[in-house]
Amino acid sequence: MCAGSRSAVTTRRSTRSESSRGSSPISSQRSARRFSPSIPRVPTRIVDLTLALKDGLRTWDIKPPFTLLPYMNASTFKLGFSTKLLIMEDHTGTHVDASLHFYDGARRTPKGRSIAELPLEKVYGDAVCIDVSAKRADEPVTAEMLAAAVEKQDVEIRKDDIVLVRFWSGTWGGDAFLAARGLAKDACEWLLEREVKAVGVDHPNLEGRVADELGNADCPGHVLFLHPDHEIPIIENLVGLKGLRGKRFRFFGLPLKMEGATGSPIRAVALVDD
């Protein structure tokens, strides 16, 4: 083929290619859709449900306070940095209980898993908030109360929901707060029947004040939810639930990955689409 013929063929191919690109907008759109990265949906609001940790904070009278101590000082290091030493129990502040918390393989069997082994999908996902804070503080939350609140607040509990229960109407802290009663055994059984994947409350203890002066307590909800056959994480010391009454949202509360720990502080947030 002579040089002139090759040039003509090249010109025709180029023309067809340009014509094809210019006359196939649908094909281009499909290609763009195929290779464009997905954009995550941004919630309208992020609601912080976490109790602030500060030096001296005591969330339960039988537990040690959160302690924050100076460790490294910027004035003594040429690089100019500071660090702090934290002393705390693994159930400090807003936290999640692992099954190992009640099932250590000795007092109760079978042995549960540590917080490092907790599947993270159990503390992230669709959630609802049920408000029963109108009850008397010394009155436990019953299954009947939960059922009535669900109907009144138009809440639908679905399989694998994370359910947050607000049972205290005042501010966090104080003797009256600590003395409040939480979820009764039948309320926990009611939630278990609905196949929820985690349960959270606005109190240091799921069942509320159930311990005597020595710390001995009957905690049927912990025994039920944390059994390795169920492994329903219990989230405690939540704050800010009032604004979530009757709402559906996404909950996010990942624990620290601490091997052998029975629980962990979390940064709990609700992702709300108003």
What digits encode the pLDDT tens for the residues 208-220?
987 655 556 679 9
Distances (CA, A) of 54 to 51, 57, 66, 92, 107: 9, 6, 7, 11, 34
3-class secondary-structure state, position 88:
coil
Domain 46-272: CATH superfamily, name plus number: Putative cyclase (3.50.30.50)
What H or E segment, with its residue span, contains residue 83?
Answer: strand 83-87
Per-residue pLDDT at 107: 85
Element (H, E) at 198: strand 198-201
Residue with the larger pLDDT of the pair 82 and 9:
82
Angle subtended at Cα 63 by Cα 206 and Cα 142, rounded to the nearest 5 degrees: 15
- Res. 271 pLDDT band, cuts 50 70 90: very high
Q: What is the share, in percent, of the chain residues with pLDDT greater than 70?
A: 82
Lowest-confidence pick of 7-16, 82-91, 120-129: 7-16
pTM of the full structure: 0.83
Question: What CA–CA distance (Å, rounded) separates 262 from 90?
Answer: 7
Contacts of 18 (CB under 8 A, 6+ apart): none
CB 195 within 8 A of CB 230: no
What does the pLDDT look like over 155-212, one tens digit per residue?
A: 999 999 999 999 999 989 998 999 999 999 999 999 999 999 999 999 999 999 876 5
Q: Round the average pLDDT of the chain to a whole number and report it.
A: 87
> What mean pLDDT comes out for the span 11-36?
46
Please report how the helices 143-152 and 185-193 are oriented relative to each other, as an axis angle in degrees rounded to 10: 50
Mean pLDDT of 26-47: 60
Cis peptide upstream of residue 37 (ω within 30 degrees of 0): no
Angle at CA of residue 235, ends 233 and 236, nearest 5°: 145
The residue extents of the domains of the chain are 3-35, 46-272
Average pLDDT on 129-143 reads: 97
Question: 101: helix, coil or strand?
Answer: helix
Helices (H), the chain: 3-22, 25-35, 143-152, 175-179, 185-193, 220-225
Q: Does 116 have pLDDT greater than 70?
A: yes
Res 205: pLDDT: 94
For 73, the token pair is 């000082």
How far apart CA 153 and CA 117 sit, in angstroms, is: 35
Close Cβ partners of 170 (under 8 Å, ≥ 6 residues apart): 176, 177
Quick: pLDDT tens for 60-81. 877 899 999 999 988 888 888 9
